Amino acid sequence: MMKNGLIIAGFDPSAGAGLLMDLKVFSAIGIYAFAVPTAIVEENTDTVNSITPVTPSVLRGQLGILLGNSRVHGVKIGMLSTGKTVNLIQETIYRYRLKNVVLDPVLSSSGGTSLSRGDIKYAINALLPFCTLVTPNIPEASVLSGVEIKNKDDMMLSAKYFLDKGAEAVVIKGGHFVQKGLDLYMDAKRHIFFEAKALNKDVHGTGCILSSAITAYLIKGYDKPAAVNKAKLFTLAAIKNSRRVSPSLHRLVGMPHMINKIN
């Protein structure tokens, strides 16, 4: 029987990141996806022009009508945009006792454009105790933890911050400043550095692919380290299959739906 997952994320019309990419990943791994947008983002693979958050009342209504009579086995949370959105998601997780909650705390686009309004750091910190796993990249981990990350030791110190704030586990994606293809997994009992051969490709949305793949594998019953390992392999395959969707755009888009039997 196919299991259900819920995606709560921003709507990127290029489908290279955000909610639409998460849908592709869930489908490729064999998870049926419900999806609720937190914001409408005017962007293509290269540029973000504007962000319009979905109002709390609309967000609450969409989540309520889905979760009121449908069971979900895991939740991937992406761009949250505002503190009010974060608070509403926290209430939803608590009310419906949601499990396998993976938070990808998207604070800015890969091009550097801020995707959040105001200081939502404290709201995200309050959400951490409800998270099975959180997947910040180096800049996000640095902002949220206050640790300037330059090496593996810094990654571990930052990861400990997320655990101390209540998250069950954390994956810090090290490709920005430490080493491409290097991610740190840490929970209360262990830490694992996952290394992979870096591909010299500029691909839009790889963080979304990784975090949604982790969620999908948790839903399928893998434990956290195994889900991360499987998701790393899945993301690598999506990058290998990446394509430029328009001749006028520079960045590539990962192609998870073109991956054959990696489940």
Task: Give the pLDDT score at 47.
Answer: 84
167 pLDDT above the threshold of 90: yes
The percent of residues in the chain predicted with pLDDT above 70, rounded, is 90
39 pLDDT above the threshold of 90: yes
Name the least confident of 3-7, 131-135, 139-143, 249-253. 249-253
Backbone angles phi, psi at 185, to 5 degrees: -105, 135
Taking the C-alpha atoms of residue 235 and residue 237, their distance in angstroms, rounded to an integer, is 5
**Positive/negative CA dihedral, 240, 242, 80, 114:** positive
Task: Give the pLDDT score at 38.
Answer: 95
Indicate the DSSP class of residue 122.
Answer: H
Give the pLDDT band of residue 254 (cuts 50, 70, 90): confident
Task: Give the pLDDT score at 119.
Answer: 65
Kindly list the structural domains of the chain, giving each domain's residue range(s) and its CATH number in brackets, ordered by start.
Answer: 4-258 (3.40.1190.20)
2 pLDDT above the threshold of 90: no
Beta strands in 144-202 (DSSP E): 169-173, 182-187, 191-195
Task: Give the pLDDT score at 179.
Answer: 57
Taking the C-alpha atoms of residue 236 and residue 139, their distance in angstroms, rounded to an integer, is 21
The percent of residues in the chain predicted with pLDDT above 90, rounded, is 63
The residue that leads in pLDDT, 180 or 44, is 44
Taking the C-alpha atoms of residue 25 and residue 150, their distance in angstroms, rounded to an integer, is 31
The residue that leads in pLDDT, 241 or 234, is 234
Give the pLDDT band of residue 203 (cuts 50, 70, 90): confident
Average pLDDT on 211-231 reads 97
Answering whether pTM is above 0.75, one says yes
176 pLDDT above the threshold of 70: no
**Positive/negative CA dihedral, 11, 111, 127, 163:** positive
pLDDT per residue as tens digits for the range 104-148 = 998 755 555 454 555 677 888 889 999 999 999 998 999 899 999
Mean pLDDT score of the chain: 88
Task: Give the pLDDT score at 260.
Answer: 55
User: Which distant-in-sequence residues (6+ apart) come within 8 Å of 200 by Cβ?
Assistant: none
195 pLDDT above the threshold of 60: yes
178 pLDDT above the threshold of 80: no
Distances in Å between the Cα of 205 and the Cα atoms of 64, 67, 117 are: 28, 27, 21
Amino acid at 135: T
Task: Give the pLDDT score at 48.
Answer: 85
